[in-house]
């Protein structure tokens, strides 16, 4: 595979996965960096997947000429994945695997919805960016450009992004990012419940009670039908994990407001895999399917786990 053309071309220490930050200003800045990136890829006969919002897709297609598509440039509807950042890594895995099997060098452009994300979603987007370096450390070589609009992204989010990207596109040049840090990720604390919470202690044989409590509380908040049924599958998986791996018992809290319904589980267990729930299970795999399924069913999944404090799993479902 032809290596990306960078300031470190020929540097044997450069990683196979090139994770690059592009801080830009406004639509013209986005187009300048993205079109240049795509043109370089097409000139090198590399394939590019563009995962951006619908408005940016339209702009790029126009700038690239008509539909903006050829066999080397594909656009993906990120809305199909929902707003849960936990679904993004397996989606990139799938595309990279397909492109590598086709024998094509690979690039990607991915812009997260920072401007419309909730504070909780922004925290998980930060973690997603950090996890990318870990996830693709041993992958086939590919190059991901992550645009950040400095006119709309909060300063704190941009500073956090700088810590997670080993490379950057700045002033038209690709190079190493001096702000990058490979230190362990630091989670923000989960926000307090936004309203009165219903609490239930559960143990072996209590899964039906967990489902009943969630059904009653969710229905009262306006979550019904298929969405409620999906949540019930998810809460069963999390509670069963508590019983099986978290010391045999746990505590459930539920609450809601005008926009979301939340189920939070806490137990004495410790999750050691930072990618828990974010890697697609493979046939014959022993465990790991429960949290994967939870990510597919819920609008947001937040996991906080440490040996001294146990594990908290917070599931959020949008009511609108």
Q: Which of 176, 207, 233 is the last residue of a domain?
A: 176
Reading the chain (320 residues) residue by residue, the pLDDT tens digits are 233 334 343 454 556 899 999 999 999 999 999 999 999 998 888 889 999 988 899 999 999 886 445 778 888 877 667 789 999 998 888 888 877 666 667 899 999 988 888 899 999 999 999 999 999 988 878 999 999 999 999 999 999 999 999 999 999 999 999 999 999 999 989 999 988 899 999 999 999 999 999 999 999 999 999 999 999 999 999 999 999 999 999 999 999 988 999 999 999 999 999 999 998 887 777 667 899 999 999 999 999 999 999 999 999 999 98
Query: Is residue 186 situated within a structural domain?
Result: no
Does 288 lie in the same domain as 166? no
Q: Within 10 A of 47 (CB to CB), how many other CB atoms are there?
A: 23
Q: Is 35 exposed, middle or buried (0-12, 13-18, 19+ CB in 10 A)?
A: middle
Rounded Cα distance, 118 and 110, in Å:
19
Range(s) of the domain holding residue 116:
17-176
Does 169 lie in the same domain as 21? yes
Q: Within 10 A of 69 (CB to CB), how many other CB atoms are there?
A: 14
Does 218 lie in the same domain as 162? no
Query: Is residue 11 situated within a structural domain?
Result: no
User: Rounded to the nearest 10 degrees, what angle do helices 88-101 and 119-135 cross at?
Assistant: 30
pLDDT for res 102: 66
Does 220 lie in the same domain as 120? no
Q: Cβ(108)–Cβ(51) under 8 Å?
A: yes
Residue 108 maps to which CATH number? 3.40.50.300
Q: List all residues 6 or more positions away from 139 whose beta carbon is below 8 Å from its beta carbon.
A: 16, 17, 96
Query: Is residue 184 situated within a structural domain?
Result: no
Does 153 lie in the same domain as 206? no
pLDDT for res 235: 98
Q: Which of 176, 206, 237 is the last residue of a domain?
A: 176
Phi-psi label, residue 231: left if phi above 0, alpha if psi -120 to 50, beta otherwise: alpha
Does 145 lie in the same domain as 50? yes
Rounded Cα distance, 262 and 312, in Å:
13
pLDDT for res 97: 80
pLDDT for res 101: 65
Q: Cβ(111)–Cβ(52) under 8 Å?
A: yes
Beta-bridged to residue 149, according to DSSP, are: 24
167 token code pair: 């490379």
Does 134 lie in the same domain as 70? yes
Does 206 lie in the same domain as 286? yes
In 3D, which of 168, 141, 167, 144 has the Cα closest to residue 16? 141
Does 146 lie in the same domain as 213? no
Q: Cβ(288)–Cβ(269) under 8 Å?
A: no
Quick one: DSSP state of residue 190?
Answer: P
pLDDT for res 5: 38
Does 148 lie in the same domain as 76? yes
Q: What is the chain's percent helix, strand, coil content, to nearest 5? A: 40, 25, 40
Residue with tokens 């590598």: 100
pLDDT for res 4: 34
Query: Is residue 10 situated within a structural domain?
Result: no
In 3D, which of 166, 187, 185, 169 has the Cα closest to residue 177? 166
Does 274 lie in the same domain as 233? yes
Does 219 lie in the same domain as 162? no
Q: List all residues 6 or more positions away from 226 whose beta carbon is below 8 Å from its beta carbon.
A: none
Residue 295 maps to which CATH number? 3.30.565.10
pLDDT for res 80: 65
């Amino acid at each position: 595979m032809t290596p990306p053309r960078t300031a470190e071309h020929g540097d044997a220490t450069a990683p196979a996965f090139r994770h690059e930050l592009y801080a830009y200003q406004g639509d013209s800045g986005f187009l300048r960096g993205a079109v240049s990136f795509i043109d370089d890829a097409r000139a090198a006969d590399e394939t590019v997947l563009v995962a951006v919002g619908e408005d940016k897709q339209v702009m790029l297609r126009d700038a690239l000429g008509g539909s903006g598509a050829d066999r080397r440039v594909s656009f993906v509807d990120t809305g199909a994945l929902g707003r849960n950042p936990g679904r993004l890594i397996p989606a990139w895995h799938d595309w990279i695997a397909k492109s590598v099997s086709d024998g094509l060098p690979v690039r990607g452009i991915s812009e997260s919805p920072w401007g419309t994300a909730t504070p909780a979603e922004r925290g998980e987007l930060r973690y997603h960016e950090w996890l990318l370096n870990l996830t693709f450390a041993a992958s086939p070589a590919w190059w991901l450009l992550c645009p950040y609009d400095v006119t709309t992204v909060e300063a704190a989010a941009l500073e956090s992004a700088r810590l997670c990207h080993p490379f950057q596109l700045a002033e038209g040049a690709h190079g190493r990012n001096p702000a990058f840090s490979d230190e362990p990720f630091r989670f923000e604390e989960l926000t307090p419940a936004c309203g009165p919470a219903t609490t239930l202690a559960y143990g072996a044989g209590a899964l039906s009670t967990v489902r009943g409590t969630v059904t009653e509380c969710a229905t009262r908040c306006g979550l019904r039908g298929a969405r409620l049924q999906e949540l019930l599958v998810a809460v069963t998986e999390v509670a069963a994990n508590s019983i099986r791996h978290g010391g045999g018992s746990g505590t459930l809290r539920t609450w809601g407001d005008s926009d979301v319904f939340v189920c939070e589980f806490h137990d004495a267990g410790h999750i050691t895999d930072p990618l828990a729930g974010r890697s697609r299970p493979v046939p014959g795999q022993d465990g790991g399917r429960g949290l994967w399924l939870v990510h597919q069913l819920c609008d947001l999944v937040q996991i906080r786990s440490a040996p001294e404090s146990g594990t908290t799993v917070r599931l959020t479902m949008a009511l609108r």
